[in-house]
Amino acid sequence: MTKQTQLEELKKTCLDCKNCELGLTRNNVVFSDGNPETAKAILIGEAPGENEDLTGTPFVGRAGKLLNEFLEKAGINREKDLYIINTVKCRPPKNRVPTDEEKNKCANYLYKQIKIVNPKILIFCGATALQSFYKDKIQISKIRGRWLEVDVDGDKYKSIAIFHPSYLLRNHSLEKGKPRTLMLEDLELISKEINS
């Protein structure tokens, strides 16, 4: 069975999911984007926002457009190199951060997606994604640019944390050492790993 077929089966289960209250208020399940057959990395975001909830696709709003610009500058092809998912599949009301309980109810889907795609690396996009795998409160600014190892249900994956693009929307400076230049450095590091 191909990765795509396995993921389609999992998506059908997600479409019927009402394990938490988010399933009662969503417009769409935001399952994934990208090609699981060619993806070398999984980018894990926080949760769907309003645009994502309306379209059913992750990272399509303002933050998603900015992410696309940075990916292109770093030489990462969103459609070919990445499989993009979130810690939860449904939008939390008013774009609030998903609760630990909501993330726990969705973790089974998240882990299955990772196992099926079996990427070379995991990219934690923002603090919520990072804390879904590292329970300690670690600031991204302290560990970005460093390779980590994470355990996903018994399997080890090389991983790295990057700033969430919504953070960059509030930080416009292009000075060296500022979030936007650090983000590009991190994505260039990821690009080298993907293409090695």
- What pTM, to 2 d.p., does this model score? 0.96
User: Which strands form 82-86's sheet, in the order they lie side by side?
Assistant: 33-34, 82-86, 41-45, 121-125, 155-162, 148-152
Structure confidence by residue, pLDDT tens digits, 163-172: 999 999 998 8
Per the prediction, the chain carries an average pLDDT of 95
Query: Could you read off the pLDDT of 104-151 as tens digits, one per residue?
Result: 999 999 999 999 999 999 999 999 999 999 877 788 999 999 999 999
Give residue-wise pLDDT tens across range 64-80: 999 999 999 999 999 99
Q: 3-195: what fold?
A: Uracil-DNA Glycosylase, subunit E (3.40.470)
pLDDT at 137: 79
Give dist(CA 138, CA 53) in Å, integer. Answer: 28
Query: How would residue 84 be classed by pLDDT, with cut points 50, 70 and 90?
Result: very high
Q: What is the mean pLDDT of residues 183-195?
A: 97
- Alpha-carbon span 75 to 5, nearest angstrom: 28
**More confident of the two residues 134 and 14:** 14
Q: Where does the pLDDT of residue 152 fall: very low under 50, low under 70, confident under 90, or very high at 90 and above?
A: very high
Cβ neighbors of 5 (< 8 A, separation 6 or more) are none
Domain definitions of the chain by residue range:
3-195
- Candidates 90, 97, 103, 165; CA nearest to 132 is 103
